[in-house]
Amino acid sequence: MVRLTFHGGVREIGGNKILLEDDRGKLFLDFGYPYKKYRDFYEEYLKPRPGAGLLDLLVMGLLPKLEGVYRTDLETEHLWQRFRRAKNYRKLEDIDGILLTHAHLDHSGHIAFLREDIPVYATATTAFIAKAVQDSGKASFDQQVCYFAPRIEECAEGLKQGAYVASSAGDRQRRFCLADKSKLSQGAEKFWEKATGRKKLAWQPLGDICGCSFTLRCFPVDHSIPGACAWGIETSSGWVVYSGDLRLHGRQGRLTELMIKEAARLHPRALILEGTNVDKATNVSEQEVYENAFKAIRYARGLVIADFSPRDVNRLLTFLQVARDTKRKLAILPRDAYLLKTMRLLEPEIPDLAAEESLAIYQETTAARSPAAWLRSIYEDYSSRIVLAKDVGANQGDFILSFSFWDLNELPSIQPRAGSLYVFSSSEPHDEEQEMDFWRLHHWLKHFQLRAFGLPVERNGKWEIPEEERGLHASGHACGADLLRVAREIQPEVLIPVHSEKPEYYVDNLGDSGINVVLPTEGGTLEI
Ligand SMILES: [Zn+2]
């Protein structure tokens, strides 16, 4: 018998934390950051206290109450006493590993809190993206997926109460077991082992040394970030397949098709399937995004700003093609250049920044005395590609700037000309906080007299993209009909929907399929 306990991802898009256990061992399927649960209590200026270790997260229900799985530098001896009678408390030992499906933080973010000796199973691309994002990120306490500086409980001078403060003991590294080691070139191994500065990382190829108690299958799938995969786990009850996030309509859709075929061959006992876009009837393809973006930008005068997620490397490549075809340069931020450089170590088809004439790197205004090591490496390696705000400001018709809402504060340096174009190629707001950001974005555009294209506008309390400006975003998730096809073709005995606000969709639409749809509950266990 296999037991599946759902500590996240139930009636929630993201935050997947599924514990799989049988007499062979125990695995976590993803260990994600639950954005929605955080937003119920916290915002930008109200955060869990880093000095409180695990306390805030456990009390507020952001982390499951599982003693024994978390970093020991964040817990005192007494911490667990107050939770031992709490609902869903468990002491858990000997976790075989975490099967990570992809490097989006709503699947990977809370790995930061797990003991570093629990190995992470992932594709090489996922591991490398996770590291590039962490290297170039804000080093925030809860996004340390690949390595972390341990904290110690200490009483600062003059204070009566101790707190968890950063120690100088040097980084601790997480063990990664890669599902596709054959892809690793020498340069890639060097990046992984040496990285920027002192961060030496350990990795192990899957199946060799990891000592996992289960037989695992890793199936690459298509999603809005490279390296995504689904997992198959052979348990004492038969195969369990976990989809992660996927789509069929992207450039790599054939990967998902192949996964469906191979997963079907396993005759799985259970399929844990995402359901983000169950209420969407159709998909927009990346080719349509290209065509619509090209049409919008072709006759634009002045500066073009393109707002998309650069970790969606496919989208970046789409806008690079638009830049080439409109005789502009795509100017990306240094952290995106670092991501491309990292990805190229594994995927030679990723453009080489040094050779690609249509790419530029926009140097942001910073107040730091000396740039971080990763940033220095970008400025040194690609010095001929660097452009400054004044270069862009003086030649506005030559650029497509890859900026998001969070980068708008650069505009006072650039001074875009009135009538410049802001192309929005991302998803619509999902909650009130994001709606506020869209209000601010509209104010920025008005202030600089920029034209918007594809941007959601508010009408009668609903934010929607104007009819004639749609088709600029291909979602990372399959639409309802495609998801039903995934379920029917794999034909598991049991289907368990996760990562969805409307899991009933599968109950309503698979009645005649012979598949038993079972809805999980938060913190609840299903025995199969
Ligand atoms: Zn995702």
How would you list the strands of the sheet with 451-453, edge to edge?
Answer: 386-387, 359-362, 329-332, 399-402, 304-307, 421-424, 451-453
Cα-Cα-Cα-Cα dihedral sign, residues 404, 302, 464, 438: positive
**d(CA 432, ligand 1 centre) in Å:** 21
Burial class (CB in 10 A: 0-12, 13-18, 19+), 24: middle
Mean pLDDT of 191-201: 63
What would the pLDDT profile of 138-168 be if each residue is shown by its tens digit? Answer: 767 777 898 888 888 777 788 877 777 777 6
Are 70 and 113 spatial neighbours (Cβ–Cβ below 8 Å)? Answer: yes
Structure tokens at 220: 């690459």
**d(CA 20, ligand 1 centre) in Å:** 20
Share of the chain above pLDDT 90, in %: 76
**d(CA 331, ligand 1 centre) in Å:** 25
**d(CA 228, ligand 1 centre) in Å:** 8
What would the pLDDT profile of 402-460 be if each residue is shown by its tens digit? Answer: 999 999 999 999 999 999 999 999 988 878 888 999 999 999 999 999 999 999 999 98
Determine which helix (DSSP H) or strand (DSSP E) holds 390, and give its type and residue range. helix 389-394
**d(CA 408, ligand 1 centre) in Å:** 25
**d(CA 16, ligand 1 centre) in Å:** 10
**d(CA 346, ligand 1 centre) in Å:** 20
Q: What is the pLDDT of residue 148?
A: 86
Nearest to 498 by CA among 3, 4, 5, 12: 12
**d(CA 281, ligand 1 centre) in Å:** 20
Q: How far apart are the first and last CA of the chain?
A: 6
Integer CA distances (angstroms), 372 to 93, 377, 379, in order: 38, 9, 11
**d(CA 448, ligand 1 centre) in Å:** 33
**d(CA 273, ligand 1 centre) in Å:** 13
What would the pLDDT profile of 488-525 be if each residue is shown by its tens digit? Answer: 999 999 999 999 999 999 999 999 999 999 999 999 99
Burial class (CB in 10 A: 0-12, 13-18, 19+), 355: exposed
Nearest to 10 by CA among 59, 60, 64: 64
Q: Which residue has the higher pLDDT, 198 or 484?
A: 484
**d(CA 122, ligand 1 centre) in Å:** 14
**d(CA 292, ligand 1 centre) in Å:** 24
Q: What is the pLDDT of residue 199?
A: 54
Q: Chain-wide mean pLDDT for the chain? A: 92
DSSP strand E in 384-490: where?
A: 386-387, 399-402, 421-424, 451-453, 457-459, 462-464
**d(CA 303, ligand 1 centre) in Å:** 31
**Site of tokens 């054959």:** 182
**d(CA 101, ligand 1 centre) in Å:** 9
Encoded amino acid at 172, one letter = R
**d(CA 102, ligand 1 centre) in Å:** 7
**d(CA 13, ligand 1 centre) in Å:** 9
**d(CA 107, ligand 1 centre) in Å:** 7
Nearest to 225 by CA among 108, 154, 143, 315: 315
**Site of tokens 């506008």:** 457
**d(CA 253, ligand 1 centre) in Å:** 15
Task: Please state, in angstroms and rounded to a whole number, the distance separating the CA atoms of residues 12 and 62.
Answer: 13
CA R_g for the chain? 23
Are 241 and 230 spatial neighbours (Cβ–Cβ below 8 Å)? Answer: yes
**d(CA 23, ligand 1 centre) in Å:** 31
**d(CA 51, ligand 1 centre) in Å:** 30
**Site of tokens 């119920």:** 40
**d(CA 189, ligand 1 centre) in Å:** 26
Q: What is the pLDDT of residue 302?
A: 95
What would the pLDDT profile of 311-360 be if each residue is shown by its tens digit? Answer: 899 999 999 999 999 999 999 999 999 999 999 999 888 999 999 999 99
**Site of tokens 């999603």:** 223
**d(CA 248, ligand 1 centre) in Å:** 14
Q: What is the DSSP string of 78-142?
A: SGGGGGTTSTT-EE-----EEE---S-HHHHGGGGGB-TTS-EEE-HHHHHHHHHHHHHS---GG
